[in-house]
Amino acid sequence: MKKSGQPLPTFGKVIFGVVCIFFFSGLLITACKKTDTRASSTEEIATAASLGKLKSVDIQTIADGFVSAIGVVASPDNTNRLFVIDQIGKIWIIDATGNKLATPFLDVSSMMVTLMPGYDERGLLGLAFHPNYSTNGKFYVFYTAPPRPGGPTATTTWNNTTTIAEFRVSSNANVADINSQRFLLQLNHPQFNHNGGTIAFGPDGYLYISIGDGGGADDVAPGHVEDWYAFNAGGNAQDIEANLMGNVLRIDVNGNPYNIPSDNPFVNKPGLDEIWAYGLRNPYRFSFDMGGSRRLFLGDAGQSRYEEVDIIEKGGNYGWNVKEGFECFNAAHDLEEVEECPTMDNFGNRLIDPVISINNAANPEGGRATTVIGGNVYRGHAIPGFMGKYIFGTFSQSFTTGDGELFIANPAGPAPWSFEEINLASHPNDIGYFLKGFGQDLQGEIYLAVSGRLGPSGTLGKVVKLIPAP
């Protein structure tokens, strides 16, 4: 969720990479030189005419009293229940009547690393129901457990353990069986930030998992390996053989502990078999389109200059830390631009540009996003003008005020896609909260997980629904 290397979290952005032509083990890697054929600023927001006249919308509180609500997931069993991920380790149910149940569905807080109340990117971060949940009762969570012994270097320790676990519902449909836990993945994580955290089943029935680059700043801190791009001195996101960080993974949960889908891109090739896509910094939130092409939309937090939204493709390399947004990144001076960087990696895979880029609040050229929060393609019926549009947002404009923003884009045509701000009827300038996540019900309506607090403390977390303005 945050931008590393700062005293307070930043989900932030990017800089530029470098060098024209490189030779690695006899492989010629072409380079790109910065030529701006796009709009004058990646921060530029589309006019209303480019998206069509949009209906006025607002937000309606559905449930409150959460500590740090960060996501909303609908159960695929036609009970019309919504399950709310509370970062402190609890999953709460909002039933079909809109009532928040008094007892959590699941509580893994005792299994997690201790969170910092002022700001933290760890905790209970993801929830996914098995496609056959109505018959097998299986669901999966992503949480950060305490660190295991050892560390990335002889003088440093691991910070936490990325944990993907399976649970089952108990005989009570509103309470999980806490003793049913089965571990699928447990991975050492070197820093407290850049954990990623989304898990979701794709239309193919496989589980997709986003894991950040390991944390720290610029992908060069302890726990980041050397990679093929020597200019930026690392790291995990550009190395697909050393570890699973900085990637989107794809696994078959029907295994012991899981199986590898035979069509994963690096099966029988160099690269770890679990990897579906790589070159990501902190892919905190992603979603599959419920309709249309069922594409995977992912918001990747940048360092200091740019935030980005990507369409994730099989075997795709999304550029970090060679690039950030559309530009080349400079790990040594992450607010400074460099003119040239490679266009392909050491395997000959092209570095894929985002479909949306937003200036970070730290960008010297101006900007107001602390970090991007990936959202959902609207497939509901309450707001007809939004049908098929991608709704996303930003965490905030600073780390002192809950003033996240919502945006809408038409997910079609060549990148970069134009987008515009959604001005809520009751909050014309921003949403009035820190935006921590999204969710979508089975009817395609969109929910926001928000809070009045920066970190996982207090009880100011809420779930609000995007609705037509009265």
pLDDT in tens, 400-440: 999 999 999 999 999 999 999 999 999 989 999 999 999 99
CA-based radius of gyration for the chain: 21
In order, the DSSP letters of 267-298 are: TTSSS-TTEEEE--SEEEEEEE-SSTT--EEE
Q: Is 259 helix (H, G, I), strand (E, B) or coil?
A: strand
| Residue 218 pLDDT | 85
Q: Is 386 helix (H, G, I), strand (E, B) or coil?
A: helix
Q: Are strands 69-74 and 82-86 parallel, antiparallel or unpaired?
A: antiparallel
| Residue 219 pLDDT | 79
Distance (Å, whole) CA 240 – CA 279:
9
Q: CA–CA distance from 1 to each of 125, 232, 241, 285, 300 (Å)?
A: 10, 22, 25, 9, 9
CB of 361 closer than 8 Å to CB of 370: yes
Cβ atoms within 10 Å, residue 333: 12
Q: Is 434 helix (H, G, I), strand (E, B) or coil?
A: strand
Characterize 13-49 residue by residue with b for buried, 16 or more Cβ atoms within 10 angstroms of its Cβ, and e for exposed: bbbbbbbeebeeeeeebebbeeeeeeeeebbebbeee
Name the token pair of 372: 């991007």
| Residue 140 pLDDT | 99
- Flag whether the pTM goes above 0.85: yes
Q: Which residue has the tokens 């979508």?
A: 440
Distance (Å, whole) CA 284 – CA 299:
7
CA angle 12, 361, 392 (to 5 degrees): 65
pLDDT per residue over 309-365, tens digit each?
A: 999 999 999 999 999 999 999 999 999 989 999 999 999 999 999 999 999 999 999
| Residue 53 pLDDT | 65
Q: Which residue has the tokens 């709310």?
A: 84
Name the token pair of 29: 């890697």
CB of 404 closer than 8 Å to CB of 433: yes
Which stretches of the chain score pLDDT less than 50?
Answer: 1-49
Q: CA–CA distance from 207 to each of 141, 248, 251, 255, 443 (Å)?
A: 11, 10, 5, 12, 22
Half-sphere exposure of 297 (CA within 13 A, CB side): 30
Name the token pair of 288: 């599959």
| Residue 120 pLDDT | 97
CB of 375 closer than 8 Å to CB of 285: yes
